[in-house]
Amino acid sequence: MASASTSKYNSHSLENESIKRTSRDGVNRDLTEAVPRLPGETLITDKEVIYICPFNGPIKGRVYITNYRLYLRSLETDSSLILDVPLGVISRIEKMGGATSRGENSYGLDITCKDMRNLRFALKQEGHSRRDMFEILTRYAFPLAHSLPLFAFLNEEKFNVDGWTVYNPVEEYRRQGLPNHHWRITFINKCYELCDTYPALLVVPYRASDDDLRRVATFRSRNRIPATGGGYESDDAYHNAELFFLDIHNIHVMRESLKKVKDIVYPNVEESHWLSSLESTHWLEHIKLVLTGAIQVADKVSSGKSSVLVHCSDGWDRTAQLTSLAMLMLDSFYRSIEGFEILVQKEWISFGHKFASRIGHGDKNHTDADRSPIFLQFIDCVWQMSKQFPTAFEFNEQFLIIILDHLYSCRFGTFLFNCESARERQKVTERTVSLWSLINSNKEKFKNPFYTKEINRVLYPVASMRHLELWVNYYIRWNPRIKQQQPNPVEQRYMELLALRDEYIKRLEELQLANSAKLSDPPTSPSSPSQMMPHVQTHF
Amino acid sequence: MFSLKPPKPTFRSYLLPPPQTDDKINSEPKIKKLEPVLLPGEIVVNEVNFVRKCIATDTSQYDLWGKLICSNFKISFITDDPMPLQKFHYRNLLLGEHDVPLTCIEQIVTVNDHKRKQKVLGPNQKLKFNPTELIIYCKDFRIVRFRFDESGPESAKKVCLAIAHYSQPTDLQLLFAFEYVGKKYHNSANKINGIPSGDGGGGGGGGNGAGGGSSQKTPLFETYSDWDREIKRTGASGWRVCSINEGYMISTWICNAITKSHPQRSDVYKSDLDKTLPNIQEVQAAFVKLKQLCVNEPFEETEEKWLSSLENTRWLEYVRAFLKHSAELVYMLESKHLSVVLQEEEGRDLSCCVASLVQVMLDPYFRTITGFQSLIQKEWVMAGYQFLDRCNHLKRSEKESPLFLLFLDATWQLLEQYPAAFEFSETYLAVLYDSTRISLFGTFLFNSPHQRVKQSTEFAISKNIQLGDEKGLKFPSVWDWSLQFTAKDRTLFHNPFYIGKSTPCIQNGSVKSFKRTKKSYSSTLRGMPSALKNGIISDQELLPRRNSLILKPKPDPAQQTDSQNSDTEQYFREWFSKPANLHGVILPRVSGTHIKLWKLCYFRWVPEAQISLGGSITAFHKLSLLADEVDVLSRMLRQQRSGPLEACYGELGQSRMYFNASGPHHTDTSGTPEFLSSSFPFSPVGNLCRRSILGTPLSKFLSGAKIWLSTETLANED
């Protein structure tokens, strides 16, 4: 595995809170160099603060705020703690303590993040340092409330691959063998007039005429007709339709459940009754229900060769979860890096999962009832599957984590806005960079070494509490005491063996070459084999 | 896939590993007569024909027809029918696929459908009805069910009663191992020491390691030289071996140990295990609950409250407590340079577990197969862990406690956290656990070495066996794995992730330099608890009753208990902040999120919990292929170097890996084999009578999978 780099383009997700005792060389460098900056990123301010680290106690540091991130560097000699937080992950900024507050470090800011952590800074009571910092943070963390653009529109990063080209609907439908004599492609929604939250291009039953579709649309929330992968209520076009209900709770329940998870893992992990505390959050239970639903869908499709209608009240939360998970189970293509990107692009982004509302990009209203971790829940389900099938996915855990990190970061345009028509209006593909550009230009880092490419294998995960686990490396990653070994020792071992294999093959070829040379021309032996490989066996 | 064919009905085939060529699926040869395969000394005590073995509760379409026999060693179901749906991928040479050793039986339940009666059968009990059904609850978590609809009602009843009788013997000498060994002595009366050399059966053998690679013998610590070697290996220069207890006179159990302590004995750290750890009854209670939860309770009904139910068993809490305490002792030894005395009322339960865990953490040697086996030999068998009582071979349940399993579980936690630090795999640990349930190996049969000598001498006299100058009979050692598994199957014990040192530290009795940065010590001293109050230890009191030692040359100032906790914390924090050296100390992470349920061990017989074509075995498989390929390449390289004359020599080396790469460049072409599942190499099919699960995968998740009967409902019989 590539080692975690702290290069300028810090693509290594957000895992930067680390204490490095070895590298102190950068401390005295120029200020502008002290903060990693993306092209288009500008430094707004910097301040001396005390970072109240929940794990290592208060640390004096300098915080730099840019239009993209909050960056903190320790000023203490025995710690080189670095905090690198995109402002997009901030959901709430609160002042703590008042002018009369006494006690050490009682005056400052408390920042709630969407990625399962809180940041606390203590500031001096004199001057207006807290007010300044509060205002600047508020302004740049919630740009929409201040008529500022999201950072994605300012980002000038360049990558050698263009992530926006990853998903091409016509190509993808063709890969699935569509259109065929059951399904046809329609441009009825070309100008988003039938359904403004659906993509321009749709695949619908062959026998359903465009007029039918218009009629059906009027019955559905915001005219969201059932499209590919699904059927719809008019049963002459859909025989073999079977109805089953899944008891999955609503988005508000999910939000509260995640909150409870945070309560038991941050800053301290509930120790004495870990399992029952975890149970009381119901998070894994919800994961189980979603997976169970997806398994049902996948099983219906794979056993009956029938199509399945998946729907929820408006068809953009559960539907996306269930269809995309079912596709992941059924079609091994989606288990590759690129396939997964296409899946997200198709089932989530294109079909109008309301990312803007569910995540609240750049919006200060942290209590908004529309927010809900629906996409996180989907990624969690994918992680659960990857745990049960360690060789079935081309991507690794880091891949899923970086997707979640940039779900919030607003550095890329990928997850912005609620639907395709809004993205088109904002010219997202022209004015922003795609997250897939970052990932695809550095694919090696996100590859699962155990991946075994397989065709036609349907995955049936076991949706049982016996196998579902809390995703520690995501939900508890900020806690250095809980964090698991990185890189994963098993993956690391595999990579070492791969390297060893290649080395042996190389040597073997060299030797064979040398030996054949020896045979044809005995007197000259350029390098004796024993010289060549003195330490081959020491690895074992 | 290998050897699926049943062995020929001679006992030679049990004792000799089958030829290595049977790598293909053989079409099973039809055995006309259903004959049991018996071991030396094994006799059939009862049998019944036309029995149906149930595979699933909701359908009889997969049921197998055959004969059920009860011998003095096992119950055996003999059938012509092939196992439906899913096959086993390893086989025990001592036991058929459908066999259950008598010592593995936990509870016997007989049922009569028509009369709606059930009865839990104890020994010497009467059965007033003719059973239509027999359910065997096994100690290894299996549940086996037979139906007698077509068999003679009387003979069915007799078999049930025979099983109840023979599986619950009252006397140690009634355990099958005695009969077996007695037979072997008689059969080979002309051979030296009774047991023919080469089958490794005796105490002196210890057998070779798990497979191809390791041919090292496991020291059994029965002899002076084993101890002497261990002292040299660990560099414990202030200690000597003493044979004062040769006649087991010092105490009732073994103490052929080190009696001279280190000069700075005042710096001993005393750890009162009785105060800090759960007692054996609590561990047993936790285990009973865990088992109830994992296999007996209906799968679907336990789902909703699974996590809290698991917590309520307290099993994980106890595993964690042992790991945590052991890690703290590692701190005392490693960082504080203190000798540690383990105090426990009898000093042969908790201390076995703690002493072993401490050594597994401290010394990489004990993370090899040979090392681990020698550790069990040293800290459990010779230390007088009461296997007989704790495993409850004689069904005196008040003394039963699964401390040894708890140790294996705790070791598994370490393996899970440090997958490259152990030479053995989790399959090895699970198989080792199963082996405690086979009443053939002297290793797990006795309460102490003294008991072995005493009981087997009595037995030998009663059977006219000449012992010569031997001390008691020599029973087969569990470490002779070739008794149970073929060489191919034994490769499953090897952990492909292991990064080992190229050579072990001892060869031919001479100590090679063993690289250690600091002096490192591999044993703990266990003392007598009552005498160690107030920190005053006289020479006599320090005399360890136990076998092993630890000492540190450089004493530290006496520990201050106040700051001790934070010091320990600090030590752990620093240790975890650095990358672990797999050839040095390893410490467990013990937060609630890190201690996990050992699924292979506890779920392998539960069909609903099985992930087909998944589980960590699939990554294991992939890595095995690669590791095998690297091995092949390295052999080819050696051949190339040594020239064409020796070219064929390297081919003799057998693969260390269960899964082989077919050629040097084939790793990526093979997908995940069909037979892999999270239960591999075990298979839940046919070993647990639940609803059928193969067919539609949905039935696994959606409908309440009802288990036939839970033991609870059977408490009131008749």
DSSP A308: -
**Burial track B225-260 (b if 16+ CB lie within 10 A, e otherwise):** ebbebbbbbbebebbebbeebeebebeebbbbbbbe
Residue of A268, A274, A510 to mutate for B, most B C-beta atoms under 10 A? A274
- Taking alpha carbons only, the member of A394, A416, A414 closest to residue A403 is A414
Confidence of residue B516 (pLDDT cuts 50, 70, 90): very low
Look at residue B434 and tell me whether its pLDDT is greater than 80: yes
Q: For position A228, what pLDDT does the model report?
A: 52
Confidence of residue B13 (pLDDT cuts 50, 70, 90): very low
Distance, in Å, from the CA atom of A114 to the CA atom of A405, rounded to the nearest integer, reads 9
The 3-state DSSP class for residue A450 equals coil
pLDDT (tens digit, 9 = 90+) per residue, B168-206? Answer: 998 999 999 999 999 888 877 645 444 443 343 333 334
Distance, in Å, from the CA atom of B138 to the CA atom of A79, rounded to the nearest integer, reads 56
Q: Which chain B residues have a beta carbon less than 8 Å from that of A468?
A: none
What percent of chain B lies above the pLDDT cut of 70?
69
Binding residues of A for substrate are: 250-251, 312-318
Q: For position B57, what pLDDT does the model report?
A: 67
ipTM: 0.85
Q: How many CA atoms lie within 13 A of A468 on its CB side?
A: 26
Q: How many CA atoms lie within 13 A of A96 on its CB side?
A: 20
pLDDT (tens digit, 9 = 90+) per residue, B359-416? Answer: 999 999 999 999 999 999 999 999 999 999 999 999 877 899 999 999 999 999 999 9
What type of residue sits at position A411? R
pLDDT (tens digit, 9 = 90+) per residue, B283-309? Answer: 999 999 999 998 878 888 899 999 999
Look at residue B482 and tell me whether its pLDDT is greater than 90: yes
Q: For position B653, what pLDDT does the model report?
A: 53
Its pTM stands at 0.84
Average pLDDT score over chain B: 75
Residue ranges in chain A modelled with pLDDT below 50: 1-13, 15-29, 229-241, 523-540
Distance, in Å, from the CA atom of B506 to the CA atom of B503, rounded to the nearest integer, reads 8
Bin A352: left if φ > 0, else alpha if -120 < ψ < 50, else beta: left
Q: For position B403, what pLDDT does the model report?
A: 96
**Nearest-CA distance A347 → chain B (Å):** 24
**Nearest-CA distance A373 → chain B (Å):** 22
pLDDT (tens digit, 9 = 90+) per residue, B64-123? Answer: 899 999 999 999 999 887 766 556 667 899 998 889 999 999 999 999 988 888 899 988
Confidence of residue B490 (pLDDT cuts 50, 70, 90): very high
DSSP string, B124-164: T----S--SEEEEEETTS-EEEEE-TTS-HHHHHHHHHHHH
Q: For position B546, what pLDDT does the model report?
A: 40
Q: For position A226, what pLDDT does the model report?
A: 59
Q: Which chain B residues have a beta carbon less than 8 Å from that of A504?
A: 630, 633-634, 636-637
Contact in structure between A375 and A425 (CB atoms under 8 Å):
no
- Closest residue in B to A502 (Cα) is B630
pLDDT (tens digit, 9 = 90+) per residue, B26-56? Answer: 444 444 578 888 999 999 999 999 999 988 7
**Nearest-CA distance B698 → chain A (Å):** 7
Residue of A451, A464, A472 to mutate for B, most B C-beta atoms under 10 A? A464
Q: For position B674, what pLDDT does the model report?
A: 74
Q: For position B259, what pLDDT does the model report?
A: 32
Higher local confidence (pLDDT), B213 or B62: B62
Query: What dihedral do alpha carbons B279, B284, B289, B290 form, nearest 10°?
Result: 100
* Segment B619-640 mean pLDDT: 86
The 3-state DSSP class for residue A92 equals strand
pLDDT (tens digit, 9 = 90+) per residue, B570-611? Answer: 899 889 888 888 889 999 999 889 999 999 999 998 888 889
Q: For position B236, what pLDDT does the model report?
A: 66
Look at residue B698 and tell me whether its pLDDT is greater than 50: no
Strands (E) in B200-353, as ranges, are 268-272, 339-343
Provide the annotated active-site residues of A: 312
Q: For position A219, what pLDDT does the model report?
A: 60
Look at residue B221 and tell me whether its pLDDT is greater than 60: yes
- Closest residue in A to B310 (Cα) is A275
The 3-state DSSP class for residue A334 equals helix
**Burial track B630-651 (b if 16+ CB lie within 10 A, e otherwise):** bbbbbbbbbbbbeeeeeeeebe
Binding residues of A are: 250-251, 312-318
The token pair that represents B34 in the structure block: 């259903």
Strand partners, B543: none
